A and B are shown apart, each in its own frame.
Chain A
């Protein structure tokens, strides 16, 4: 697996997890865990778009499918760690808290946040996914064949 050698894998994982969280959820978990530290904006939250691409036939050459709204920001903690956020949707407050957690995950607060923020997010994400998958599974057709005719 290529990913197992990827030094960026942990950071990719937590940024992806926070990007897919419900609005306001990361803020609620962070604020329950600790007071927010002071920071300086490197790039204040801004709203733009990303062109989503697909592949012809699912596997072939790429084409442009359409855009998605995206909010991004970057900040630096007083201790120097830099946090980034790129999230689907128009969600400046979520972008801010995502960048904060991204920066804090590079500090000694990382273990605490892994338990208090990332683990619950992961559990909620998995639960939402599997609830949906289970509903889909209930609509799966179980074919059976009627025995017809002689022999």
Chain B
């Protein structure tokens, strides 16, 4: 039986009007501006840009405001907007070696060229609520010290000199793009990295943590973590050469992992790689650990059946917009589907004589 149901329109309109009112909250409290969100909730903005897979701080801040601070809803808004944009092309691969580093630390080498630069970090804070922030107050300017000029080389370059770590040889193979072709298995590393760069932070963190706890254990050190701005250069067909079109802030994490060696490779360190839009350190480290776990096959390691080794499992469940779309659709009307299930269960119960069984028990 199919019954067309109408009549939700007014309810929906009124629900959306109420949503707008609730979003605004108490009108005695000043309204948040998009610029305030962009400047003062910048790590939320960064997460929305990273997982929305679109670098635009103003749009991400607007999405956060519209979504009432629900970051997955904000990411959804950014993904939807992204699909309306014509694609002008692709950038030259960014040179993270030339990054203007706000932060650059290594857990493997204490004394390295360029030094350990902590940057604006939560590390070493006491995680005590600061009630001064609840009151208005000016912030003192951060101290400055004349910076040394000169390159800040990647840490892995030092290990490479001794041949102790696998190389990442230069290569210009055009990468696959999951925004153009559906994500299909087997996924090469370029495709996996694209999927992980926009993957849900919580899911990626959980998987990365599982590798540390022993599911596909590949003991990782943070060889280097760096955060800062890199120029984005793009080939302009009308001009016939590449120009810088702007700058993006990125977080890059390189892990150094134990590797016993295989039939073809001597014992050496291997690498996991994380690169994410914005200051998104937890996500970048998680990405590097999951990237490394997914490389078991090319490195000739055993598949121990850990979730983080299963590319299909990881990549098909890491996207929070796909996940939330499918998960949340089950709250929408399924009256007809459920009606047929109900009919089926009643029929099965009749056939199983469930009614008699119940009577006997009584």
Q: Provide the bound-state CA to CA distance between A88 and B94, in Å.
A: 14
Q: Provide the bound-state CA to CA distance between A131 and B229, in Å.
A: 14
Given the known interface contacts A52-B232, A69-B59, the answer about A136 and B170 at a Cβ–Cβ threshold of 8 Å is no
Q: Are A136 and B85 in contact (CB under 8 A)?
A: no
Q: Provide the bound-state CA to CA distance between A101 and B21, in Å.
A: 46
Q: Are B50 and A66 in contact (CB under 8 A)?
A: yes
Q: Decide if B102 is an interface residue (CB 8 Å cutoff).
A: yes
Q: Provide the bound-state CA to CA distance between A89 and B49, in Å.
A: 13
Q: Provide the bound-state CA to CA distance between A49 and B55, in Å.
A: 9
Q: Are B254 and A87 in contact (CB under 8 A)?
A: no
Question: Shortest Cβ distance from B239 into chain A, in angstroms?
Answer: 6
Question: Which B263-314 residues sit within 8 Å CB-CB of chain A?
Answer: 271, 273, 275, 277
Q: Are A69 and B116 in contact (CB under 8 A)?
A: no
* Interface-side segment among B10-18, B64-72, B189-197: B189-197
Q: Decide if B173 is an interface residue (CB 8 Å cutoff).
A: yes
Residues of A contacting B252 in the complex (Cβ-Cβ under 8 angstroms):
58
Q: Are B94 and A72 in contact (CB under 8 A)?
A: no
Q: Are A133 and B147 in contact (CB under 8 A)?
A: yes
**What string of 1s and 0s marks CB contacts (under 8 Å) between A72-93 and chain B?**
1010000000001011111000
Residues of A contacting B179 in the complex (Cβ-Cβ under 8 angstroms):
51, 64, 67
Question: Shortest Cβ distance from A44 into chain B, in angstroms?
Answer: 14
Q: Decide if A47 is an interface residue (CB 8 Å cutoff).
A: yes
Residues of B contacting A52 in the complex (Cβ-Cβ under 8 angstroms):
55, 90-91, 94, 232, 248
How many of chain A's residues touch chain B, expressed as a range? 35 or more
* Interface-side segment among B137-145, B212-220, B330-338: B137-145
Q: Are A64 and B190 in contact (CB under 8 A)?
A: yes
Q: Are B56 and A50 in contact (CB under 8 A)?
A: no
Question: Shortest Cβ distance from B55 into chain A, in angstroms?
Answer: 4
Q: Are B56 and A68 in contact (CB under 8 A)?
A: yes
Q: Decide if B247 is an interface residue (CB 8 Å cutoff).
A: yes
Residues of A contacting B233 in the complex (Cβ-Cβ under 8 angstroms):
16
Question: Shortest Cβ distance from B80 into chain A, in angstroms?
Answer: 13
Q: Are B190 and A12 in contact (CB under 8 A)?
A: no
Q: Decide if B351 is an interface residue (CB 8 Å cutoff).
A: no
Q: Decide if B204 is an interface residue (CB 8 Å cutoff).
A: no
**What string of 1s and 0s marks CB contacts (under 8 Å) between B58-96 and chain A?**
110000000000000000000000100111111111101
Residues of B contacting A117 in the complex (Cβ-Cβ under 8 angstroms):
none
- What is the chain B residue whose CB lies nearest that of A67? B54
Q: Decide if A38 is an interface residue (CB 8 Å cutoff).
A: no
Q: Are A139 and B238 in contact (CB under 8 A)?
A: no
Q: Are A69 and B194 in contact (CB under 8 A)?
A: no
Which B residues lie at the A interface, using CB under 8 A? 49-50, 53-56, 58-59, 82, 85-94, 96-97, 100-103, 110-111, 115-121, 142-148, 154, 156, 168-179, 189-191, 193-194, 197-198, 228, 231-234, 236, 238-248, 250, 252, 254, 271, 273, 275, 277
28 A-B contacts, Cβ less than 8 Å apart? A15-B244, A16-B233, A16-B243, A19-B245, A20-B247, A48-B88, A49-B82, A49-B85, A50-B87, A54-B275, A56-B168, A56-B273, A57-B156, A61-B173, A61-B175, A62-B172, A63-B190, A65-B275, A67-B53, A67-B54, A70-B234, A86-B234, A88-B248, A134-B145, A135-B143, A136-B117, A139-B103, A139-B121
Known: A68-B91, A134-B146. 16 other contacts (CB 8 A): A6-B241, A11-B243, A16-B245, A20-B244, A50-B245, A52-B248, A53-B94, A58-B168, A59-B169, A62-B171, A64-B178, A64-B179, A65-B194, A66-B277, A84-B236, A88-B232
